[in-house]
Structure 1
Amino acid sequence: MDAGDQPMTRLRPLIACEHCASIFRRHDLAPGEVANCGRCGTTLWRYSGLTLGSWLALAITTAIVFMIANAYPVAKMQVQGMEQQASLLDALTVTWDQGHWVVALMTGAAGFALPMVQLLLLMWVLYPLSRGRLPPAFRLAMRLLGLLRPWCMVPVFMLGVLVAVVKLSGMASVQPGFGLAGFALLTILLTILGRLSPHALWRYAEDTGVVRAHVPEERQGEILTGCHVCGQVQSVPLDHPESAHHCQRCNAVLHLRKPDHLSRTWALLIAAAVFYIPANVLPVMSISSLLGDSAHTILGGVIELWQMGSWDLATIVFVASVMVPLTKLISLAVLALFIQFGSTTNLRQRTRLYTMVEFIGQWSMLDVFVVILLAALANFHGLMEISAAPGAAAFGSVVILTMLAAMSFDPRRGWDIEAAGTQIAARAPVSTVEHAPPSVDTDMDGRGVR
């Protein structure tokens, strides 16, 4: 259902759409229902039958599976009577010892450190909330959780293990380890926990009664906006919307829109485009064996998988490592140009494109995970060694820069331009600020409270 289809209930908290700035009143959903923004189609919130106690049990289970998955090897390889097995931590250690510190730090943070911190933060806040108490340092914990969530890439590592096993199967006997099953289960559990965003936790805290939901009143000369940290909708002065304001609930700096979003997006995109060239030209992996030394680029690895008959994995690697980064660069550049030239065409489709760019961002890290796993499994001194090459660090930098560019871009600006154009066409007084709803009861152009 669309959130805009529901009747107005003044006592219910407000919620702001992060992609078009529409304001709605939050209401209870029936099983299976999803509340979508009636303006841009973004999912605002979903029905969940899980209680806080259930979420806590799920988080504890995930933490146990996380420890098991990292304690056991994900694969083992046998060559001429010698055996080598590797877990994620083994892969990070080997990569570090080989001198590729940047690659080890990037993959270690995305595959191990940040997911572990994410689980600890969830358990930290869920236990007190399930007991009806406000967690200690709740604001800080939610702020950290929001910052960490996009960078946790366990599912990408899981796919990287499968690609690495297939790549090595043509050289020697390779068998999946117990840790692989652990990561498969961990991927499922983390995907479920991914629905527990910081905004959802703040709403649980509201429903529990440990935090107060502020509902702004109607006031002339003010404009509504949502806090990017806790989701609290509040009003800011219409004549000074970009001045320094702080959220009434979590005290975060409140921005009506992301400041200097185009400048930062273009700077990050240009930097990513610069790194994209060496990432594809330079080798991402080097192999040293009794037969000689060789180096492999990303496209070289795709061709090798195809020649081995693994056309499905070759397609996945090509899409994730070649097409996805290029698609992100082109898509964000096009979206930025639309905003820069004041275009309001296909706003709903552009919002969906931006959502897709956000979703696929982390999957480009696939090849970097594959490289460190190959380095750990094929680590037979004097017989065969695989190590990361300069292209791996460049490729990881492309992934990070494009993700930062997507985070810096503000899709709400396009809807602001459309709203300003509608006001001009209607000969209505136009504010000097091109932003969302002027008052709580406004329902013009889909920008008011529903």
Structure 2
Amino acid sequence: MTPDRQPLIECEHCASIYRRHQLEPGETANCARCGAILWRYSGLTLSNWLALAITALIIFGVANAYPVASMSVQGMVQQASLLDAISITWRQGHWVVAIMTGLAGFVLPLLQLTVLLWVLGPLSQGREPAGFRGAMRLLGALRPWCMIPVFLLGVLVAVVKLAGMAAVSPGIGLGAFGLLTIFLTMLGRLSPHVLWRYAETVGVVPVHIPERGPNSVLAGCHVCGQVQAIPADDDPEAEHHCVRCQAVVHYRKPDHLARTWALLLAAVVFYIPANVLPVMQVSSVLGDSAHTILGGVVELWEMGSWDIALIVFIASVAVPLTKLLALILLLLTEQWRSTTNLRPRTRLYQMVEFIGQWSMLDVFVVILLAALADFQGLMEISAGAGAAAFGVVVILTMLAAMSFDLRRSWDLEGESEIELPDVERRDQQAHDVHAPVSVTGKEAG
């Protein structure tokens, strides 16, 4: 394939357009403008990915069929799986917490694996999967909300917390969740964009090379990654449809500042009760007590588990606060039309995206404690109002990060470099198609 007929790819962070090259083993293509990873080399075939997905689904079944831990108090033994924890939390009347953890820990990961199997099976045989376009949209929506690794860490924290009160031992489910985390991390490489590229490789979907005209700009589809020419009208938020998957395509996210501020302010409002109200309530023969997030950290520290206390403090206190402050900084610097430190700001945004789901740790810890310490008349642990508020903070901050459009900040850099009318300026930036990209290992040809 000649260089000018190679497929194009858009950097999701700065909107630079590149020609996609074949990489050698160990290579990773990075954006020359903002440094973000564009694509990686993978030696796995579609059949390999299918085998990984099938194995992950089997492990998922084992992980949820067996208890993750058991607790023994005065001859009574209580075992708990993830589904047990969700069921007990629901029975205690904490429906919001049960729904959030049930979706993030069970329903959505299962649905993610099902979608992967649905598309990998036919693709590995050289056929287009039925409903491929809809399946890819669904997969893109599911990926940020699947929190199996967070649940695994929650089990470890819960076991340490209870170890000082009674005999606690890990179960088969804990090991299975550990393996499942490894497999899901590997399968996390299969984003919708990657699967669309695999579909291009096996020839079941067309490769569209856009023709660049004087009255058009290049934009990438957020679902399939297809770079296409759209009219260069005065409104960068105008709605178009992808030429390949028919998803809605915007040159830039509409009203992203207003939407991000709204979600962020709502998260700040819920952040107050999340830290003030108890996330966990304990009833025992010795009396009743309530614990806030910071109270739980102090308790772990006093028990001598300073390492676990540090993990909980980072995940449940430092991470949410960091996300809020980082998003506020990103919003303000864009509103101030700042073009300084764009690369560090890109790294900051990537960090916010990466740590988004880990704040759910304390919520998973609470439901597991409720399931393991469910001894009627002797001890009972239940979620508090703070747990629901904390879960809402996690969801709102993740939605805020998804709503923010970092490409707008890079657009401002272009405006400061060239004095052109808005439409012509966007046209010049969008048509800046680069052949070389920086690659770890060796230069791309």
TM-score band by shorter chain is over 0.9
Instruction: Give CA-to-partner distance per residue, 1:180-201, whole Å, 9 cap, x none.
Output: 0000000000000000100000
Q: What SS does structure 2 have at the residue aligned with 1:41? A: coil
Task: Name the CA distance, whole Å, in 2 between partners of 1:75 and 1:49.
Answer: 37
Distance 1:161 1:439, change over 3 A: closer
Which residue in 2 is equivalent to 1:4? none
1:101 matched to 2:95? The reply is yes
Amino acid at match of 1:201: L
Alignment of 1:144-293 (within 5 A): 144-240=138-234, 241-293=236-288
Q: Which residue of the partner structure matches residue 321 of structure 1?
A: 316
Structure 1 residues 436, 406: CA separation in 2 closer, same or farther (over 3 Å shift)?
farther
Query: 1:63 and 1:403 mapped to 2: Cα distance?
Result: 26
Q: Does 1:122 align with 2:113?
A: no
Counterpart residue type for residue 270 of structure 2 = F
Matches within 5 A, 1:407-426: 407-424=402-419
Number of residue-to-residue matches in the alignment: 436
Call closer, same or farther: CA 1:403–1:441 in 2, change over 3 Å: closer
Distance in structure 2 (CA, Å) of the matches to 1:361 and 1:434: 34
The within-5 A match list for 1:305-316 is: 305-316=300-311
Letter matched to residue 292 of structure 2:
T
Q: Counterparts of 1:332 and 1:82 in 2: how far apart (Å)?
A: 48
> How far 1:8 sits from its partner (Å)?
8.3
Task: Normalising by structure 2, report the TM-score.
Answer: 0.96
Q: Unaligned 5+ residue runs, structure 1?
A: 1-6
Q: CA deviation at 1:438?
A: 4.9
Deviations 1:210-230 (A, max 9, x none): 000111123112110100011
Determine whether 1:400 maps to 2:395: yes
Pick the aligned partner of 1:431 from 416, 422, 431.
Answer: 422
Which amino acid letter does the alignment assign opposite residue 327 of structure 2? Answer: L
> What is the alpha-carbon distance in structure 2 between the residues aligned to residue 390 and residue 147 of structure 1?
28
Q: 1:353 aligns with which of 322, 330, 348?
A: 348
- Partner residue of 1:371? 366
Does 2:19 correspond to 1:29?
no
Query: Structure 1 residues 293 and 248, CA, compared in 2 at 3 Å: closer, same or farther?
Result: same
1:10 Cα deviation after fit: 1.0
Distance apart, 1:238 and its partner CA: 1.2
Q: Distance in 1 between the 2:358 and 2:150 partners?
A: 6
1:13 maps to what in 2? 7
1:366, 1:8 → 2: CA distance? 50
Code of the residue aligned with 1:46 in structure 2: it is R
* 1:380 alignment partner, SS class: coil
1:239 Cα deviation after fit: 2.2
Q: 1:387-409: CA deviations, max 9, x gaps?
A: 00000000000000000000000
| Aligned alpha-carbon RMSD (Å) | 1.6
Q: Is the 8 A contact 2:16 2:429 kept in 1?
A: no
Q: 1:336: how far off? A: 0.3
Q: Aligned pair 1:337/2:332, yes or no?
A: yes
Partner SS, residue 3 of structure 2: coil
Q: CA deviation at 1:285?
A: 0.2
1:252-301: CA deviation from partner (whole Å, max 9, x where unpaired): 11100111000001000100000000000000000000000000000000
- Counterpart code for 2:421: V
**Cα displacement string for residues 397-442 of structure 1 (whole angstroms, at most 9, x for unaligned residues):** 0000000000000000010011011112xxxx33258646456466
Instruction: Give, as a single letter, the amino acid of the residue that structure 2 aligns with 1:408.
Output: S
From the superposition, tell whether residues 434 and 161 of structure 1 become closer, same or farther in structure 2 (CA, over 3 Å): farther
- In 1, the alpha carbon distance for the partners of 2:167 and 2:96 equals 30
| Matches of 1:302 and 1:433, distance apart in 2 | 55
Offset from partner CA, 1:105-134 (integer Å, 9 cap, x none) = 000000000000000000000000000000
Partner of 2:237: helix, strand, or coil?
coil
CA contact (8 A) 1:58 1:189 kept: yes
Bigger Cα displacement from structure 2, 212-221 vs 376-385: 212-221
* SS at 1:379 equivalent: coil
CA shift, 1:242, in A, is 3.1
TM-score norm. by structure 1 comes to: 0.95
User: Matches of 1:19 and 1:200 in 2, distance apart?
Assistant: 17
SS at match of 2:89: helix
Distance in 1 (CA, whole Å) between partners of 2:362 and 2:205 is: 44
Cα gap change, 1:437 to 1:177, in 2 (>3 Å): farther
Contact 2:270 2:390 in 1 (8 A): yes
Q: 1:353 to 1:66 in 2, by over 3 A?
A: same
Query: Offset at 1:443?
Result: 6.1
Given that 1:246 and 1:254 are in contact with CA atoms closer than 8 Å, whether structure 2 keeps it comes out as yes
Contact 2:220 2:227 survives alignment (8 Å) = yes
Give the superposition deviation at 1:243: 2.5
Cα distance in 1 for residues equivalent to 2:241 and 2:44: 32
Q: In the alignment, is the contact (CA less than 8 A) between 2:15 and 2:430 conserved in 1?
A: no
Please say if residues 16 and 430 of structure 2, whose CA atoms lie closer than 8 Å, have aligned partners that are also in contact. Answer: no
Amino acid at match of 1:113: V
Q: 2:67 aligns with which of 73, 81, 84?
A: 73
- 1:245 aligned counterpart, secondary structure: strand
| Alpha-carbon separation, structure 2, partners of 1:202 and 1:257 | 22
Unpaired runs of 5+ residues, structure 2, are 438-444
After superposition, the Cα gap between the structure-2 partners of 1:165 and 1:224, relative to the gap in structure 1 and judged at 3 Å, is same
Q: Distance in 2 between matches of 1:311 and 1:349?
A: 32
Question: Sequence identity, in percent?
Answer: 70
Give CA-to-partner distance per residue, 1:31-67, whole Å, 9 cap, x none.
0000000000000000000000000000000000000
1:3 alignment partner in structure 2: none
